[in-house]
Amino acid sequence: MASLKRLETEFPILDRDFQSFCALRGIFTDGLHRPWSNGVELMEDAQKNKHVLSTGCEGMDFLLRGGLHKGQVTELAGPSSSGKTQFCLLTASTVAYKHMGGVIYLDTGNSFSAKRIAQFLNQISRPAFDEMQPIVLQKVMNSILCQSVFDIFSMFDVLHCLESKLKSQMCRGDNDEILIIIDSISSLITPILGSSGSQGRALMVSAMSLLKKLAHEYNLAVLVTNHTVGGDGGIPKPALGESWKTLTHVRLLLSRDCGSDTYHVSLLKHPSAASGKAAKFIINN
């Protein structure tokens, strides 16, 4: 990411007040770049640290070549009521239970449901148990931490606090968190794009850069949701524009049959799979 001094020269619209705000929150950095990594080091890191997390949905895992990959940011786009939040809650439940890892859930619309999490956990644990034991249920739910955020600046604050926590954990050799979910990131970014011009785009890119940094350096998987807008011929497409679509590692488009529990998902982008593949699945009520 460019330094503040360079940004001041290239983009005069980024005034001193805006630059000071960014500097205080570490959105831009004047620090040293990380050293180069060669192919062998990247391969060793992928084999040792960049594991795959099942989402709890076979159709989705099939498209994602096993599930959410650590070190990557996966975007799930879809219209309202298409099942994005249900998928996020299912994924949080599955990762917390099957992978025994911490989940950070950033909720932008008061849509997080602890009751739904408990329902998913009881479904996941069967047929081993008719119902998950209360002590196990409590332990798993304690590993899912939810934070409400209603603007992009609050999100930056939460993510920087998380980064500090992860640094401390890494120093102790104890990294519990393995998944970040933001439902929905478009609710935070859309307002700043509409009114801030270049400043809004700079914040959008900075947000994704921070998520990618957290994913890569601390071996986290990141799942974000996005809404859709009308595209060519009225066909829905992910929102946030052309600049945004180049930023995520993986893009998925979700839809749902009206009045049905059947969901359809298509792969728009993946670093190791051809786009255009599709699958369908059911999320039980």
- Residue 240, phi then psi, degrees to nearest 5: 85, 0
Please state, in angstroms and rounded to a whole number, the distance separating the CA atoms of residues 11 and 3: 12
Considering the four listed CATH numbers 3.80.10.10, 3.40.50.1580, 3.40.50.300, 3.20.20.70, the one that applies to the domain covering 50-282 is 3.40.50.300
Looking at residue 200, its pLDDT comes to 86
pLDDT of 127 above 90: no
Looking at residue 138, its pLDDT comes to 87
Split at pLDDT 50, 70, 90, the class of 30 is very low
- Minimal CA–CA distance to 117: which of 138, 101, 148? 138
pTM for the structure as a whole: 0.82
Is the distance from CB of 251 to CB of 268 less than 8 angstroms? Answer: yes
Split at pLDDT 50, 70, 90, the class of 115 is very high
Q: Give exposure, 82-103, as e/b (b: 16+ Cβ within 10 Å).
A: bbbbbbbbbbbbbbbbebebbb
Radius of gyration of the chain (CA): 19
Contacts of 19 by beta carbon, 8 Å cutoff, 6+ apart: 4, 7, 8, 28
Question: Of 89-98, 124-133, 156-165, 180-189, which range is least confident?
Answer: 124-133
Is the distance from CB of 75 to CB of 250 less than 8 angstroms? Answer: yes
Question: Of 40-54, 140-154, 191-205, 259-273, which range is least confident?
Answer: 40-54
pLDDT, mean of residues 63-76: 95
pLDDT of 1 above 50: no
3-state secondary structure of 242: helix
Q: In the chain, pLDDT over 90 holds for what percent of residues?
A: 53
CA distance readout (Å), 212 to 96, 151, 194, 249 = 21, 19, 24, 9
pLDDT, mean of residues 50-59: 87
Please state, in angstroms and rounded to a whole number, the distance separating the CA atoms of residues 251 and 269: 5
Higher pLDDT, 45 or 154: 154
- Minimal CA–CA distance to 238: which of 194, 269, 270? 269
Split at pLDDT 50, 70, 90, the class of 28 is low
Domain layout of the chain by residue ranges: 1-35, 50-282
Looking at residue 2, its pLDDT comes to 45
